């Protein structure tokens, strides 16, 4: 496993990290979830991502159980707040009240004294930006959070956050967590150039397009039993990626992977890691074997010819 700096911070994260959306605390049983986390840790993955909202705290609880007993210095733990955690008017968003309360609750569920990275899960137009950034900075001063990050903020919002932090003397955000994969490339236009310039690292989600980029879903065939697309609670979420256009790309990408004697998942992850501004690609895994397969992408370097060919497939 190779490691990269989390943005311009000095903290190193594994190129492949493990997340817990739609899996741990939910459709993936506790024992299997813990096995996935332990397998990841054993093969050098040191970066784990979760959020308060994933199964309303249950993902954090399972991840905390899995990490219990491992030296706290040996892993980098990230969580997030923004999405509703209750029905009340203050149970959501990026107000000072919600951020600080949710961070404390996340720490309790995870069973740790601090998280390495605390992320604003979305932008909140109903809270002044400096209120949010001050609350994040206070958590840093209190030692409950080591670094602040954001997720799915636009280039303009990220730029504002950097300028506000500089003006007010707050710590700058170190990372952004956007969706990025061979099938979703919107960040390449504005976000990557800005973040590269400013030293904000991308910690990208759904790098395998939820499994589409593993090649296990075939055009016109039923989804494999037990897969995300075959599971009632998640099939709609991945279903929107299963278009004819995407199947055509996947079929052609599979040929590139075969020629390189790697799996399509490894090709998809190595392609993401070609971007220097990416700090880590956060995979999901419902089985330890998936962790093994995906982590090997850290050792794959794609040739210029392959990258050009992939570009024509994705165009």
Task: Give the residue, chosen from 95, 106, 127, 151, that forms a contact with ligand NDP under the rule CB under 6 A.
Answer: 151
* Closest distance of CB 19 from ligand NDP, Å: 2
DSSP 2: -
Task: Give the residue, chosen from 40, 282, 297, 302, that forms a contact with ligand NDP under the rule CB under 6 A.
Answer: 282
Q: What is the C-alpha to C-alpha distance for residues 142 and 134, in angstroms, rounded to an integer?
A: 12
| 3-class secondary structure, 36 | helix
* Closest distance of CB 177 from ligand NDP, Å: 4
* Closest distance of CB 151 from ligand NDP, Å: 4
Determine if 270 is a binding residue for ligand NDP (CB under 6 A). Answer: no
Determine if 205 is a binding residue for ligand NDP (CB under 6 A). Answer: yes
Task: Give the residue, chosen from 79, 106, 157, 177, that forms a contact with ligand NDP under the rule CB under 6 A.
Answer: 177
Q: Read off the tokens for 204.
A: 């990208």
For ligand NDP, the closer of residues 141 and 239 by Cβ is 239
Residues that are catalytic: 54
Instruction: Decide if 136 contacts 120 (C-beta within 8 A).
Output: yes
Instruction: Decide if 208 contacts 214 (C-beta within 8 A).
Output: yes
| 3-class secondary structure, 235 | helix
Q: Read off the tokens for 150.
A: 């954001």
Number of residues that bind ligand NDP (CB under 6 A): 29
Determine if 21 is a binding residue for ligand NDP (CB under 6 A). Answer: yes
Give the Cβ contact number of residue 160 at 10 Å: 16
Distances (CA, A) of 4 to 105, 123, 287: 29, 26, 25
Q: Site residues (CB under 6 A) for ligand NDP?
A: 19-21, 23, 49, 121, 151-152, 177, 205-211, 214, 216, 227-228, 265, 282-286, 290, 293-294
């Amino acid at each position: 496993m190779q490691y990269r700096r989390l943005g311009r911070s000095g903290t190193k994260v594994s190129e492949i990290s493990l997340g817990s959306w739609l899996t741990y605390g939910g459709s993936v049983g506790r024992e299997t979830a813990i096995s996935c986390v332990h397998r990841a840790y054993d093969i050098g993955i040191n970066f784990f991502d979760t959020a308060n909202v994933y199964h309303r705290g249950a993902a954090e609880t399972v991840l905390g159980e899995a990490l219990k007993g491992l030296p706290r210095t040996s892993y980098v733990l990230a969580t997030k707040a923004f999405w509703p955690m209750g029905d009340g008017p203050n149970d959501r968003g990026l107000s000072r009240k919600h951020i600080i309360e949710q961070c404390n609750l996340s720490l309790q569920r995870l069973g740790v004294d601090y998280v390495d990275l605390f992320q604003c899960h979305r932008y909140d137009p109903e809270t002044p930006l400096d209120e949010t950034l001050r609350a994040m900075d206070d958590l840093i001063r209190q030692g409950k959070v080591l670094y602040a990050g954001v997720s799915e903020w636009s280039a303009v919002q990220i730029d504002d956050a950097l300028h506000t932090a500089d003006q007010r003397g707050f710590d700058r955000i170190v990372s952004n967590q956007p969706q990025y994969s061979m099938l979703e490339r919107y960040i390449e236009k504005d976000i990557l150039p800005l973040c590269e310039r400013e030293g904000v690292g991308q910690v990208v989600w759904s790098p395998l397009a939820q499994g589409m980029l593993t090649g296990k879903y075939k055009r016109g065939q039923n989804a494999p039993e037990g897969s995300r697309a075959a599971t009632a609670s998640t099939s709609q979420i991945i279903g929107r990626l299963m278009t004819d256009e995407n199947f055509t790309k996947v079929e052609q990408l599979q040929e590139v992977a075969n020629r390189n004697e790697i799996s399509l998942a490894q090709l998809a992850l190595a392609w993401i890691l070609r971007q220097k501004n990416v700090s880590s690609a956060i995979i999901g895994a419902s089985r330890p074997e998936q962790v093994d397969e995906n982590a090997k992408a850290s050792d794959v370097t794609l040739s210029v010819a392959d990258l050009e060919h992939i570009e024509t497939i994705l165009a």
